[in-house]
Structure 1
Amino acid sequence: MRIVVTTPTGNVGSRVLRLLVQAGVRPVALLRDPGRLPSDLHGLVEPVRADQTDTEAVLRATAGADRLYWVNPPAPPGADPLAHHAVCAEVVARAVREHEIGATVFQSSVGAELRRGAGDIDGLAATELALDATGSPVLHLRCGYFITNLLASAQEVAAGSLSTPWPVDHPLAWVDPRDIGEVAAARLLGPGWTGRVVQAVHGPADLTFTQVAELLAEQLGHRVEAVHVPSAEFRAMLREAGLGAAEVDAIAGMAEGLSGGFVAEQPRSAVSTTPTTVRSWIAEHLQR
């Protein structure tokens, strides 16, 4: 099988790439800088230089592909995130259609089922629709809240607080990106399917920020308090950090759109539950 992997150095894509190599596949790694691939993978993968917004480059990279793992990469600083998603959606849909790719795994997000009103996730929803319109087999992985987001708060957590635009009592499906990579690799290597399939990746448990703060305190040995940042204040913080209006809307819109009684389309099940707990992740990545 010729399997193309996008964002192969990211938290999820890097795991997908290694699992495919360990399964005996020589995957195609599509990335802007092939030099970023780990040296131990040299000769085991086929690196192809391509920007995912460059239609012709992506078409060349995906020629002959049997299966495709697609992630919309982050928008460049200062760009409109939803416009960037729209370009990526057009590119991947054209590649799938023109090459008649037999199976595409798309990394989407919980909340994409709303289609509108969830900030940056609206761009993933639009990509889902573009892939659906190709008529080719596509699997949308609706992923939960990445545990790795805690890394951005490490300094604040060390000082005793965990601030968030989400209501501190709102449960989220916290998931380790490595576990998403394992689900994606299993689907890429497994039996084919027809039509459109949606599979949630919810992690092992739904937790509030208050509960996560308690786990941080337990593992780190000092008090950590979850602190809610109201939407207006959060937006002001993003503007002060130099983000443009479209970027602010994309980031702030996720918590605003998904915290008002939203319930994920897919309930937790054996299919959607993955193993890595927040407690074990903290012990591995944040304890010193």
Structure 2
Amino acid sequence: MIVLTAPTSTIGRLLVDDLLDRGAPLRLVARDPSRLAPEVRERAELIEGSHGDAAVIDRACDGAETVFWLAPDNPAATNAETVYVDFTRPACEAFARHGVKRVVGISALGRGTPMAGRAGTVTASLAMNDLIAASGVAYRAVSCPSFMHNLLRQVGAIKEQGMFFLMADPDLKNPTVATRDIAATAARLLLDDSWKGSGQVACLGPEDLSPNEMARIISEVLGTEIGYRQIPGAALKERMTGFGMTDAMAQAMVDMFDAKNQGLDNAEPRTAESTTPTTFRQWCEEVLKPAVTA
């Protein structure tokens, strides 16, 4: 039995479909199972509730061999450690109590870098990895740079202003990854019962691109000039708190982007295993362009 947390998330939906297509027995933990497609609800076992709830995750882990773990965003949290470490603690106790053999989690790059201890949400995510590994299960952190998918939050700005805005240095080349490739990596690990111990599997996409290069590709795909503008951390923080994010979580996001500008995501060596297939241009053609032209 494979337990999937966050099955209605961007990654979780892809993972559910992939594993069901392969005939894997799934148990899905969802706050609102009605958000799952009817055919998914018919083919998987469902547990309603938050996977951060000790009673819920305890039921989910009973009889499970493998768990997919994804800590959900919580912009109202008092700090990033609450989102990652405190939320995950009941699950680690359940893993040990029920003898779960393997856990695959979604995390960030940066372990072993000088920036890892001051990278906001990344720092908390790496602490979550340590907590899971200490529970005694075999653990693989699928470690990712920024998601291509995050640009969908900028569809309005791209359509109305012909621009997108990030904190990233305009000329700094960084890896980015498609969520479909993250889900494919997670599925492979969840179906493989041969690995042991703890470690990470990086998903780096096929290329490193700067925001200016991304703007050029977006322009070519959309057939109209799209520009990029770097925004300072203070302005980003003000924008996030204006949307209701707590001051601490907004600062954790700013700290993360500061660390990325200092090379956090560039420290992981690119290998054949860490190079995932979906290019940024392909993602723009298949995902961003339909969203912008809708």
If the TM-score is normalised by the length of the shorter chain, which range does it land in?
Answer: over 0.9
Aligned-partner residue type, residue 237 of structure 1: R
Look up the match of 2:46.
Answer: 47
Look up the match of 2:105.
Answer: 106
Look up the match of 2:286.
Answer: 284
Look up the match of 1:190.
Answer: 192
Rounded Cα–Cα distance in structure 1 between residues aligned with 2:176 and 2:265: 15
**In the alignment, structure 1 residue 88 sits paired with structure 2 residue 124:** no
Look up the match of 2:69.
Answer: 70
Q: Deviations over 1:160-203 (max 9, x none)?
A: 11111111112221111111101100111123211112110111
Distance change (3 Å), C-alpha of 1:224 and 1:182: same
Which of 220, 240, 249 in structure 2 is aligned with 1:218?
Answer: 220
Aligned-partner residue type, residue 90 of structure 1: R
CA deviation after TM superposition for structure 1 residue 210, in Å: 0.6
Rounded Cα–Cα distance in structure 2 between residues aligned with 1:76 and 1:210: 29
CA deviation after TM superposition for structure 1 residue 80, in Å: 3.1
Aligned-partner residue type, residue 110 of structure 2: G
Please report the TM-score for the alignment, with normalisation by the length of structure 2.
0.92
Look up the match of 2:273.
Answer: 271
Q: For 2:194, what is the secondary structure of its paired residue?
A: coil
Q: Deviations over 1:129-161 (max 9, x none)?
A: 101212321001101211111110111112211
Aligned-partner residue type, residue 43 of structure 1: E
Alignment: residue pair count: 287
Q: Runs ≥4 in structure 1, deviation > 6 angstroms?
A: none
CA deviation after TM superposition for structure 1 residue 236, in Å: 2.6
Q: Is the 8 A contact 2:3 2:64 kept in 1?
A: yes
Q: Is the 8 A contact 1:4 1:67 kept in 2?
A: yes
Look up the match of 2:128.
Answer: 127
Instruction: Note the 1:125-274 alignment, pairs <5 A.
Output: 125-158=126-159, 159-262=161-264, 264-274=266-276
CA deviation after TM superposition for structure 1 residue 239, in Å: 3.1
Instruction: Give 5+ residue unaligned stretches, structure 2.
Output: none
Distance change (3 Å), C-alpha of 1:133 and 1:32: same
Q: Deviations over 1:53-103 (max 9, x none)?
A: 211211111111100100001115354333122222212211221112111
Q: For 1:96, what is the secondary structure of its paired residue?
A: helix
Q: For 2:129, what is the secondary structure of its paired residue?
A: helix
Please report the TM-score for the alignment, with normalisation by the length of structure 1.
0.94
Rounded Cα–Cα distance in structure 1 between residues aligned with 2:170 and 2:187: 33
Q: Is the 8 A contact 2:6 2:72 kept in 1?
A: yes
Rounded Cα–Cα distance in structure 2 between residues aligned with 1:175 and 1:110: 12
CA deviation after TM superposition for structure 1 residue 31, in Å: 0.9
Q: For 1:138, what is the secondary structure of its paired residue?
A: strand
